[in-house]
Structure 1
Amino acid sequence: MADFDDVIEPLLGKLDLTEKVALLAGQDFWSLPAQPKIGLRSLVMSDGPIGVRGTGWAPDDPSIALPSPTALAATWDVDLARRAGRLLGQEARRKGVHVLLGPTVNLQRTPLGGRHFECYSEDPLLTGVVAAGFVTGVQEHGVATTVKHLVGNDFETDRMTVDVRIDDRALREIYLAPFERVVSAGGWGVMSAYNLVNGLPMASHGPLQADVLKAEWDFDGVVVSDWRAARETVGAALGGLDIAMPQLENPWGAALVAAVRDGAVPVEVIDDKVRRVLRLAARVGVLDEVRTDRSGEPAAVDGAAVAHEVATRSFVLARNERYTLPLEAAALTRVAVIGALAADARVLGGGSAQVTPPHIVSPLDGLVRALPGVDVGYAVGADPRPFLPAAHGPQWTDAWVTLHGDTGHRFGVDATHVRWIGDLPGGCAPDAVTGLEITATFTPETGGEHTFAVSGFGTFELTVDGRRRYAGTLHPPGAGRAELLLTPREHRVTVPLTAGVPVPVRLVQTIVRGAAHTVATTLGHRAPGPDADGLIAEAVELAAESDVAVVVVGTTEQVESEGFDRTTLALPGRQDELVARVAAANPRTVVVVNAGAPVLLPWADDVAAVLLTWFPGQEAGAALADVLLGVAEPGGRLPTTWPRREQDVPVYAVTPADGVVRYDEGVFVGYRAWQRDGIHPRYAFGHGSGYTTWRYEELAVSPTEAMVTLTNTGARTGRETVQVYAGPASEPSLPGIVPPRPPWWLTGFATVTAHPGETVTVRIPLAERAFQVWDDGWHTVPGTYHMVAAHALDDHRLTAELTL
């Protein structure tokens, strides 16, 4: 990894103190300033765990939307993670982005974490290995990553101020481990978290950012704050932070210059930060003194194809009674597709992970396209969405958005929803915009009481058919903009309309001058129809008349999102009742679970098949149809443990007590804690089936590698994820160190492909830290270990012993 010191030092000498400090803070919401004096161009950042949004919302420049990070982890495939990273590196280059704000490697400590869909796993090894593959792929395009959020940002409640108390052993073995692995793999950036750890704000945490990250791990990249996480001038400067973002409420600038001149911050500290920024600029190609050679970058890839492959490879077949799946298309005459999320696909999580994809293939669309000649019927059944979806479809025409103010801008949209953070469409300046207007013509197919909804934050006026239907403000006094963006409000009105008669619809939003850099506004609509009981009855009737019923259930943006944690693991609304009643009407009921993290499945033992599809990205329905019909195999294995009951979850609550959350469980996180408590979950870590069977033949182990031989004993070509776990055969003995350890923990894994009857051997590297514990340093624990090659944590296939 080039350090470019021979170029950087002369440039550093040309800058005065004010110019140096200017390079360490955002010049706006997403970028650092240029410095023509040394040939430095502006360095642009963007959110992007599953896509690259860019610096604003541009309907004419959509972003590829990959499946959620939990889905990528469910593939257990490092090469696929690297290809996903290459795609986002390609997307970043296309959008003029130099730094991707991700991936997120915080651990899924409790399933209540509202942002867990953006994280990979409850296991630090799986998280770190998949993240390292992703980071490598992105950076092959000369685009930097910033692995986040260092550290302990494993939940959303009071995330700006909470103090997370973690003991040293858990911090090293569990929570820092994925960051260390990504740094070792050559990551160019790290983002510090909002929260405190053991009493210190992370943006000012010298012991972790300066001592561990930079000194001990020899990290030569940049540490950037989460947005507005840097709140101290001197503390952040001395605490290892290099870049404070964004410009809004930034504590550096003139205040940091003054701190240096007053002697509170040594100039050498500033110079180190500037060196890191210039090194980053050289790596991503915005420093003129460094010639950018892009000849070695990966070839262009098809974004839709990668999104489709990640989706199919991530789907976890959790249950498949009597080999219900795959379905035989030729034997089908009528298929019932049921659920609001079957038509309005939930393809990504809420918050900063959101992008606008070029298209979305819903489960209903995917099955209709894949089954020509088959009667595919649809019923809502149960609608868990608390907000009405944006108005869209052939009944809505001439949909336009107009920005009002000193300079106007008008553009067309497919759905009546607008959302951006940062740059405005059309290059409009935030200070010049005072209003937003959505207009469209609606031609009802059905007469009766139509429901319209306004959601977002701000002051609105809704007009339907020439009459004002609502005027008011949708936010509580004193609410911050982050709260408004992540937890918007909604107001509904009903309007009687006549079938076939077009009506104009107009929504006007008043925007405070200067506040237009953050907007989220939706004009929602729902046609007349049955009540909740009637919707379920319709679905049951359709299921009873069909060969198979595919029920899509899941969470909503108001359940899984950045900004808040979940309060329950139950599916929202009446979806559980829907599944139970459909399954009673049709024994061939396949349930598709569209959620980014574990949910309760009380009906799981009563349905024919359960397929967990996460947030599956823009190709959701196409991938689902391929898996259901056997065109592709469901390749996923669980990266998290799924419980039967909430009270079984060993680490659950996320509510701070006196501003503190104590990680008293230590290293017993995820499946480690389930084993300690002796409770059997619904689906164990690593669980999942494909469409073939495997016989494990032989296991050989050394301290650095496991060799596993296995045979595909089924009738189809398939993939298997071979998981290797270690466990102590006897209580370890180290002078002064007797650490409690779980019965088993993951030490390595690999995926293999084999044709029917084919025998393959796979070599699986074993993690160096697999046999080490932390106690003021890393210590290898001698003794005898049981080593298992497994299909899942609770499905051991072969056992061997290893003595260290």
Structure 2
Amino acid sequence: MGFLRSTALLAALPLALAQNGTNSSTPNPFNNPGAVSGQTSPPKYPTPWGEGLGDWDDAYAQAREFVSQLTLLEKVNLTTGVGWEGEKCVGNTGAIPRLGFKALCLQDSPLGVRFADFVSAFPAGITVGATWDRELFYQRGYEMGTEHREKGIDVQLGPAIGPIGRHAAGGRNWEGFSPDPVLSAVAVHGTVKGIQDAGVIACTKHYIGNEQEHFRQGGPNLTSAISSNIDDVTMHELYVWPFAEAVRAGTGSIMCAYNQVNNSYACQNSYLQNYILKNELGFQGFIVSDWAAQHAGVASALAGLDMTMPGDVAFDSATSYWGPNLTVAVLNGTVPQWRLDDMAVRIVASWYYVDRDTNQLEEGPNFSSWSQDTFGFQHAYAEEGYTRINDHVDVRNEHRDAIRKVAADGTVLLKNNGALPLSGKEKLTTVFGSDSSENPWGPNGCVDRGCNNGTFAMGWGSGTANFPYLVTPLEAIKYEVLSNGGSVESVIDNYAYSQQAALAHRVSQVGGACIVFANAAAGEGYIIFDGNEGDRNNLTLWDDGDALINNVASECNNTIVVMHTVGAVLVEPWYEHENVTAIIWAGVPGQESGNAITDVLYGKVNPGGKTPFTWGLTRDSYGPSDVIYEPNNGNGPPQDNFVEGIFIDYRYFDRFNETPVYEFGYGLSYTTFSYSNLQITAREAPSYQPTTGETPEAPTYGTISNRTADYLCPEGFEFIFAYIYPCLNSTDLRTASNDPEYALNYTWPVGSSDGSPQPRVPAGSADSLGGNAGLYEVLFTVTVDVTNDGEIAGDEVAQLYISLGGPNDAVRVLRNFDRKGIEAGATETYSFDVTYKDLSNWDTAAQDWLISSYPKTAYVGSSSRKLPLSGPLNIAGSPGGYSPPGKYGPPKQRYVRH
């Protein structure tokens, strides 16, 4: 595989602010410029070099000192994985034995340690998102990070905020938190902080536009992967927003995605990586490719990629775009030394930033991803190095308690006609549906959870972990009922219609409850289950769930429905049935599933979760944007035009007056709450000033010899089969590169090797993370009183929405929230800060966040459509709401999207 040969892809580099366009298969009601088939993006070079911004200064000082000691081969070893199945983790870099720097271990997943035993199976991101609880965001992250640390992992491949959830049917939505950028941003901030406070590098993923599984890596007869075509405003106001918060939280790593963005692969898209992530957001960590998402050598290096995983071109191919080819590229001047040095510094700085130097296990990872056996091969693919590979270390600690709490607090009560909570003393309790019971193959019986047997507690794919156990709803309900001396029976076969009807009929005769469990699963696209290639083919319940519910409800006058789903499902066939007395969404709850749902059903936990997405009446309710299931561009890359812009989920429903079944942010309680006393206070803040000036010049660390003989692989060295090494097999660079066209003249982007001082961008920063520090200045504080009007204590999530007022703006957007427990009869005051960024739009001409002249209004309530309180946000007293000179910036004309 030729390193330089592959850079023909460079012509397809970065992201455009394009013209009108639509998916060919769907109408476009949005008139959205910048989402058109075939659009490209502007090249942005050179790659910004890390400066130690924010609180990274100490880590950078240590990293610079360390990298200054490294040879060329040692620097390359840091950047390149050793190959799939080359070591014990799913991703492993080379080590630097001379200085005692161990190989880095990168390991899935966003909800626990993948491929290991004696670890916890945490609730998925969508469930913790439904808690709307900042403390739980952090706690879950901290406990996951602790388990990764104690297994010897350096980088946890999570959290996930891409996909954000553009499509309700998206296969991996459950790994993330919500299709709302602010809820996702707050959740990712807390999760990153938690993981990294535990001493492990968080790798926030997938950057960016990875919104469906179909064609994300191409497909049969396709030339390349799907292209997500996104305009500049939508990119900033929706998709980048949570990534900016991850950067503010200090995420040490960000994973670039498989897909293309505006017809340039995400991992070599200079606009996304150089301009937005490293320049505008001031990201100080390293960008790592998704596994085999690198498609070129020099092109990806110059476009900002810092680490390639798993290191080989294709799994176990024994070839690499980097490794020895990166060594060649530095020696022949194609990749400047400062670029390689910056890669190394970013990686090592992330290591120091989370104190890996004091948290790394001396013996390295104490498990193997490739076998559960105690003894096996250190190098699994090569079948070399037979040794002890698993120590079976139990790292779960007492995490089950927090797992149970997250699952219960993330449970959403959607309907309750007085049926809940149950007393535990019902005459007869009956349970229906396979979703209530055991997987007959065991909880880990399906590879990477790629099936839907028994109760659904985890989606499938790389975002999984092994269950240490799985408490099913049926066994937990049995325990509860029997503890109270009751009677409980079940029918777990979804297709045993007559048995269901007979048992349900008995409940109506003697009194009691019929609890029906149903589900809908999804996952990563490399697993196809029941015809679902990762993405769901439809939004209905699986395994005849609708028929199951209707069959029971037709006979039982107290039918309680519990759904474990990856996201919204269509409930129209039964949600208004007079015998369906309660409906619960229990999400993707993890190992404590049964205990958590029993806590809610029997009132040990008063439900306080709010749905983190919108429930539509039909699939069409979500608008014309949908998963592309069939190629739409011949054998070229499928073109996915994000014509809807920022209008996804509740923003679409509000914009087009679509009535949801259950709106975003909705959730009932066993008590009731009332809102009063809205107060809006203007805060003193400095004038917003666009960033100006230049960076320092690119630094280099150490010297590199021009003698190619210094970089030859040692004579007599015993090579591991298919392992990726940084050394050369020849002093002739053309021969070493294995590139038959090495002598041809390649054209590289203008400025890509320029290490001179570079201009800073207006929305960027010279000293802070996440962009210009002025974006996060507080302009208003909004307070509101919430009273618990019921007779029991409960949690309420108060939500602040803002109308930005413009014709192209959403009706309202979430901008802040808080969850508090309130005693019966008590009142709590909620306080919300509103920042400059919260009130701004992205202006493509200024390339900055600007407050428009349209009036701004704050709304507070219990959901996106239950907002009883509102008030104007009069910026500096201006009736038009615009920014007067000398306060929040110069006056702006009415905002028009470009």
* TM-score category, normalised to shorter length: 0.7 to 0.9
1:320 aligns with 2:416: yes
Q: 1:168 to 1:368 in 2, by over 3 A?
A: same
Shift of 1:16: 2.2
1:271 aligns with 2:341: yes
Supply the AA of the counterpart residue of 2:323.
G
Shift of 1:759: 1.3
Shift of 1:319: 0.5
1:618 aligns with 2:568: no
Contact 1:40 1:286 in 2 (8 A): no
Partner of 2:407: 311
Q: 1:379 to 1:224 in 2, by over 3 A?
A: same
Partner of 1:555: 520
Q: Deviations over 1:675-696 (max 9, x none)?
A: 1111101110011111111111
Contact 1:43 1:286 in 2 (8 A): no
1:382 aligns with 2:494: yes
Contact 1:82 1:134 in 2 (8 A): yes
Partner of 2:619: 646
Query: What is the alpha-carbon distance in structure 1 between the residues aligned to residue 824 and residue 625 of structure 2?
Result: 43
Query: What is the alpha-carbon distance in structure 2 between the residues aligned to residue 609 and residue 561 of structure 1?
Result: 36
Relative to the length of structure 1, the TM-score reads 0.76
Choose from 864, 882, 889 the match for 1:793: 864
Shift of 1:575: 1.4
Supply the AA of the counterpart residue of 2:519.
G
Q: 1:91 to 1:118 in 2, by over 3 A?
A: same
1:44-443 → structure 2 map (5 Å cutoff) = 44-53=105-114, 56-57=115-116, 61-106=117-162, 107-160=164-217, 161-249=225-313, 250-287=320-357, 302-321=398-417, 323-330=418-425, 332-343=426-437, 344-371=454-481, 372=483, 373-382=485-494
1:773 aligns with 2:841: yes
Partner of 2:569: 599
Partner of 2:767: none
Query: What is the alpha-carbon distance in structure 1 between the residues aligned to residue 414 and residue 456 of structure 2?
Result: 20
Query: What is the alpha-carbon distance in structure 1 between the residues aligned to residue 360 and residue 661 of structure 2?
Result: 55
Partner of 2:784: 708
1:146 counterpart SS class: strand
Contact 2:204 2:251 in 1 (8 A): yes
Supply the AA of the counterpart residue of 1:146.
C
Contact 1:704 1:766 in 2 (8 A): yes
Q: 1:543 to 1:241 in 2, by over 3 A?
A: farther
1:685 counterpart SS class: coil
Query: What is the alpha-carbon distance in structure 1 between the residues aligned to residue 504 and residue 551 of structure 2?
Result: 7
Q: 1:621 to 1:241 in 2, by over 3 A?
A: same
Shift of 1:537: 4.3
Choose from 646, 654, 660 the match for 2:639: 660
Query: What is the alpha-carbon distance in structure 1 between the residues aligned to residue 294 and residue 402 of structure 2?
Result: 36
Q: Deviations over 1:757-782 (max 9, x none)?
A: 11111112224322111112211123
1:13 aligns with 2:63: no
Partner of 2:656: 677
Q: Deviations over 1:300-341 (max 9, x none)?
A: 9720000000011000000001x21111223x1210010001
Q: 1:173 to 1:559 in 2, by over 3 A?
A: closer
Query: What is the alpha-carbon distance in structure 1 between the residues aligned to residue 358 and residue 522 of structure 2?
Result: 43
CA RMSD of aligned residues (A): 2.2
1:42 aligns with 2:7: no
Shift of 1:133: 0.6
Contact 1:377 1:542 in 2 (8 A): no
Shift of 1:290: 11
Of Structure 1 and Structure 2, the greater strand share is in 1
Query: What is the alpha-carbon distance in structure 2 between the residues aligned to residue 587 and residue 559 of structure 1?
Result: 39
Contact 1:244 1:252 in 2 (8 A): yes
Query: What is the alpha-carbon distance in structure 2 between the residues aligned to residue 277 and residue 684 of structure 1?
Result: 42
Query: What is the alpha-carbon distance in structure 1 between the residues aligned to residue 651 and residue 269 of structure 2?
Result: 29
Contact 1:68 1:596 in 2 (8 A): no
Choose from 574, 582, 586 the match for 2:544: 574
Supply the AA of the counterpart residue of 1:657.
N
Contact 1:697 1:708 in 2 (8 A): yes
Q: 1:597 to 1:800 in 2, by over 3 A?
A: same
Q: 1:710 to 1:537 in 2, by over 3 A?
A: closer
Query: What is the alpha-carbon distance in structure 2 between the residues aligned to residue 686 and residue 651 of structure 1?
Result: 23
Shift of 1:533: 4.3
Contact 1:39 1:289 in 2 (8 A): no
Query: What is the alpha-carbon distance in structure 2 between the residues aligned to residue 712 and residue 10 of structure 1?
Result: 57
Contact 1:748 1:767 in 2 (8 A): no
Contact 1:771 1:780 in 2 (8 A): yes
- The farther-off stretch of 627-636 and 25-34 is 25-34
2:205 counterpart SS class: strand
Query: What is the alpha-carbon distance in structure 2 between the residues aligned to residue 797 and residue 689 of structure 1?
Result: 16
1:130 counterpart SS class: helix
Q: Deviations over 1:124-157 (max 9, x none)?
A: 0010011101111111111111111010011111
- The farther-off stretch of 256-265 and 239-248 is 256-265
How many equivalent pairs are there?
635
2:79 counterpart SS class: coil
Shift of 1:83: 0.6
Q: 1:661 to 1:539 in 2, by over 3 A?
A: farther
- The farther-off stretch of 686-695 and 373-382 is 373-382
Query: What is the alpha-carbon distance in structure 2 between the residues aligned to residue 764 and residue 9 of structure 1?
Result: 40
Partner of 1:636: 609
Shift of 1:50: 1.2
Q: Deviations over 1:84-108 (max 9, x none)?
A: 1111111111211111101111211
Query: What is the alpha-carbon distance in structure 2 between the residues aligned to residue 542 and residue 62 of structure 1?
Result: 43
2:271 counterpart SS class: helix
Q: 1:577 to 1:74 in 2, by over 3 A?
A: same
Q: 1:782 to 1:788 in 2, by over 3 A?
A: same
Query: What is the alpha-carbon distance in structure 2 between the residues aligned to residue 202 and residue 692 of structure 1?
Result: 47
Supply the AA of the counterpart residue of 1:42.
A
Structure 2: stretches of 5+ with no match in the other structure:
1-54, 218-224, 314-319, 363-394, 438-453, 528-532, 682-778, 876-898
Contact 1:380 1:539 in 2 (8 A): no
Structure 1: stretches of 5+ with no match in the other structure:
293-298, 384-531, 733-738
Supply the AA of the counterpart residue of 2:605.
A
Q: 1:653 to 1:543 in 2, by over 3 A?
A: farther
Contact 1:639 1:686 in 2 (8 A): yes
- The farther-off stretch of 248-257 and 151-160 is 248-257
Contact 2:607 2:669 in 1 (8 A): yes
Q: Deviations over 1:376-424 (max 9, x none)?
A: 10102416xxxxxxxxxxxxxxxxxxxxxxxxxxxxxxxxxxxxxxxxx
Q: 1:174 to 1:219 in 2, by over 3 A?
A: same
Query: What is the alpha-carbon distance in structure 2 between the residues aligned to residue 704 and residue 613 of structure 1?
Result: 36
2:167 counterpart SS class: coil
Query: What is the alpha-carbon distance in structure 2 between the residues aligned to residue 683 and residue 357 of structure 1?
Result: 32
Q: Deviations over 1:471-508 (max 9, x none)?
A: xxxxxxxxxxxxxxxxxxxxxxxxxxxxxxxxxxxxxx
